[in-house]
Amino acid sequence: MKKIRGLIDRLERERILTEEEFCSLIDGMDGEDREYLFARARRQAQAVYGNVIYVRGLIEFTNFCKNNCYYCGIRRGNSQASRYRLTKEDILECCREGYGLGFRTFVLQGGEDPWFDEGKIESLVRAIKAEYPDCALTLSVGEKSYETYKKWFDAGADRYLLRHETADPEHYARLHPSDMSLEHRMQCLKDLKAIGYQTGCGIMVGSPWQATEHLARDLIFMHDLNPEMVGMGPFIPHHQTPFKDRAAGTLSLTLILLAIVRLMLPQVLLPATTALGTIDPMGREKGVLAGANVVMPNLSPVSVRKKYMLYDNKISTGAEAASNIRELKQRMEAIGYAVAVDRGDYSRCPDIASIAGYIKL
């Protein structure tokens, strides 16, 4: 449709649309429009980052959580979850393995586990940065105070992932218990940006009660925050949560959102997420072909991998396992991309050195 093409072209030119226009774009696309949108998004990613995919080694270091988010399998209220915490030595061992495989970014993600207090995380950050000064370290451990975020940043943490989940306060209140608020989450994102982290926000696509207007508001929020990273994957139900009977988000809508975000924020670091790989065996490839430029394979010890079950059937084998970086590399090459041995910082155009440094296995 002409109107949709016009919106895509204008989004590419002006980097923003109105809420109504975003709604028309999201709801009005046919198959050909989608291919057009993906081609534009791909071209944009390639203009900034080349045909390069960055990898991050994801270490899921604790599944204890004090929060009770209705969608999440490791919520406090899930008494059937088998809980674990990695030790500092376990975590350093994961980094050692990851470094050997070519990873130059480690992501420490976990539930909001009070046992890992400010001092423990600070000492982890220091230990990892002392042993791997050439690596970037990303934290994703939830909502903390400005002072805590600052301590960790000063200790050497480079990036922080904190999805806002939805930019609509009422929708937020339907996904979370009343002790959590969108206002506080947004304050955290502002603090992280102000401190100097490369900051990531994001959403689940197709979460319960999510309407197109919510997605439009999410996009406008992302435009205004201007994050360095955006994490987006489909919502997938977990059988031990209140949302167990809810429908999962779709592949098609997730790809559309990825492509729109790429056109709106050309330099953004945009992962093809594990959830995307879970709902479709070619999900990661399709994500890359819709403008994603990051993949985050799992570096957690095999013994705990199945316990970090945010949603049903979460994949952790094949190309999802960091140890199989070779398979991931082949799959990316099959669609014309190369995996880089590189920290993969925001907006850093690939130079000859990093292109020469593709993982050679």
Residues that bind ligand SAH (CB under 6 A): 71-72, 109, 111-112, 140-142, 162-163, 165, 204, 233, 235-236, 238, 275, 310-311
Angle at 226 between CA 200 and CA 255, to 5 degrees: 65
241 vs 354, beta carbon nearer ligand SAH: 241
Which backbone phi and psi does 347 adopt, to 5 degrees? 65, 5
Find the largest Cα–Cα distance for the chain: 58
Q: d(Cα 222, Cα 201) in Å, to the nearest integer?
A: 8
Q: d(Cα 49, Cα 37) in Å, to the nearest integer?
A: 18
Q: In the complex, what is the shortest distance from the CB of residue 174 to ligand SAH, in angstroms, rounded to a whole number?
A: 14
Tokens of 100: 């050997």
40 vs 238, beta carbon nearer ligand SAH: 238
Q: In the complex, what is the shortest distance from the CB of residue 236 to ligand SAH, in angstroms, rounded to a whole number?
A: 4
233 vs 344, beta carbon nearer ligand SAH: 233
162 vs 332, beta carbon nearer ligand SAH: 162
Q: In the complex, what is the shortest distance from the CB of residue 102 to ligand SAH, in angstroms, rounded to a whole number?
A: 24
185 vs 329, beta carbon nearer ligand SAH: 185
Q: In the complex, what is the shortest distance from the CB of residue 297 to ligand SAH, in angstroms, rounded to a whole number?
A: 16
H or E stretch at 58: strand 57-62
Instruction: Report the residue number whose CB is nearest to ligand SAH.
Output: 311
25 vs 182, beta carbon nearer ligand SAH: 182
Indicate the DSSP class of residue 180. -
113 vs 342, beta carbon nearer ligand SAH: 113
CB 162 within 8 A of CB 189: yes
**Residue with tokens 């394979």, as numbered in its chain:** 297
Q: 286: closest CA among 238, 233, 361?
A: 233
Q: In the complex, what is the shortest distance from the CB of residue 115 to ligand SAH, in angstroms, rounded to a whole number?
A: 14
Beta bridge partners of 231: 202
Q: d(Cα 179, Cα 311) in Å, to the nearest integer?
A: 22
Q: In the complex, what is the shortest distance from the CB of residue 248 to ligand SAH, in angstroms, rounded to a whole number?
A: 8
Q: In the complex, what is the shortest distance from the CB of residue 178 to ligand SAH, in angstroms, rounded to a whole number?
A: 17
Q: d(Cα 105, Cα 135) in Å, to the nearest integer?
A: 5
